[in-house]
Amino acid sequence: MNNGKAAFFDMDKTILSENSGNLYIKYLRQTGRVSRWMALRGIIWYFQYRLKLFNIEKIAKKTFASVEGDREPDMIELCNRWFDEMVKNYIYPEVKPLMEIHSRAGDLVAILSGGTQYAVRPLSNYLGLSKYICTHLEVKDGILTGKVIEPLCYGEGKVYWAKRFCQENGLDLSKSYFYTDSITDLPLLELVGHPQIVNPDPLLEKEAQDRGWGIQYFSQTQE
């Protein structure tokens, strides 16, 4: 049953209690695939992003360029192992019951994340979701090109992909829900009928308080 509404869930710090990028760097470090300096640099980038100190789209594209020439099957296998061994331990316990409430109400539940398909797909499958929206890396003949399919699913890019998704699935964005923690998602929060603020960063917390949006705090998970 589709009632014409979506329930979108951001991934990092909304479904997951930790940032997936940090978890990926941690996993690569633990499995010997990245140096200590590269891991530290990734963590520094993350905190700069949280503080809005740089252009995340520029950094993301630079990061994606580093996988140019990699085989997609190898990336899929690596990320599936990463999810099974690490990521699923960080899912907030409140998430699945909340998604089930939306599903029973006839809402189309989907992850809406700036992460790539290699991070979002296994999470979506694990949660029993049939659809997701994310940043897609370009693949040609089974090889990653190092390029992203524009626009990046971030900020205004999330608005673009959410609108396109709603058009393709017969959904009304103005009646839909969006769960997120980040001020970078404000453009989409302003468009949905039911903005849902979860474990917000300081800027989004203030914005939500000013606008009278309710705030939810999910439990911390343990590895």
CATH code of 137's domain: 3.40.50.1000
- Domain limits for position 78: 6-216
| pLDDT tens by residue, 134-157 | 999 999 999 999 898 999 899 999
Report the domain count for the chain. Answer: 1
The Cα 104–Cα 96 span in angstroms is 12
Residue 39 lies in a domain: yes
The reply to whether the predicted model has a pTM over 0.85 is yes
| pLDDT tens by residue, 82-121 | 999 999 999 999 999 999 999 999 999 999 999 999 999 9
Residue 57 lies in a domain: yes
Q: Is 97 exposed, middle or buried (0-12, 13-18, 19+ CB in 10 A)?
A: exposed
Q: Is 191 exposed, middle or buried (0-12, 13-18, 19+ CB in 10 A)?
A: middle
Q: Is 146 helix (H, G, I), strand (E, B) or coil?
A: strand
The Cα 146–Cα 149 span in angstroms is 10
| pLDDT tens by residue, 8-20 | 999 999 999 998 9
